[in-house]
Amino acid sequence: MDRMRQAVFSSLGPAIEGAVFVDLFAGSGSYGLEAVSRGAASGTFVEQDRKALACLKLNLTAVCKSAGRDSAQFRVVSADAFNWRPAQDVQASLLFVDPPYRLIEANSGRLFAAFDALLSRAVGARVVFEMPAELELQHAGWSIVKRLGGGGAGSAVVCVYARSGG
């Protein structure tokens, strides 16, 4: 997964620098923390599990200190990622989505609706979605611009989505 995550960030390249991100189902924060270390301007981590939240907060403090970043630019929110909406328009240019795999198929419509609500309309805005390799989620209004990883059943892929035509 670390190698695949590195490939994802290499493919995103300069889109990370100065980006505003939301990391849904953040867990320990690996996607968002990589964005922090690569120069994202600000971001929000959304996680519901208490143990994961405690780990995430420690990780965020350590990454910000190591990267010489102000941790005040990044928020950790305890919430159900399916239902969370920011108090004000976040205007994120990047969404990182890594839900429990067992929940993806049954909730894909809800997820894509959330993407629309959370992602800015700016050209170049992207959703980075980790899922089982055997899934191929298509949703009206969204296109896969990149698919990374996948080595058969039981492995993971990362699909990078953009609004169709964007």
Query: What confidence score (pLDDT) does residue 117 get?
Result: 82
Question: In the CATH hierarchy, which top-level class contains the domain 2-11+20-163?
Answer: alpha beta
Answer whether residue 125 shows pLDDT above 70: yes
Query: What confidence score (pLDDT) does residue 44 get?
Result: 95
Query: What confidence score (pLDDT) does residue 121 get?
Result: 75
Pick the more confident residue, 14 or 165. 14
Query: What confidence score (pLDDT) does residue 25 get?
Result: 96
Closest Cα to residue 137, out of 166, 165, 99, 83?
99
Which tokens belong to 45? Answer: 């981590």
Cα–Cα dist 150/166, whole Å: 25
Query: What confidence score (pLDDT) does residue 152 get?
Result: 67
Q: Which of 3-7, 40-44, 109-113, 115-119 is the most confident on average?
A: 40-44
Cα–Cα dist 55/60, whole Å: 9
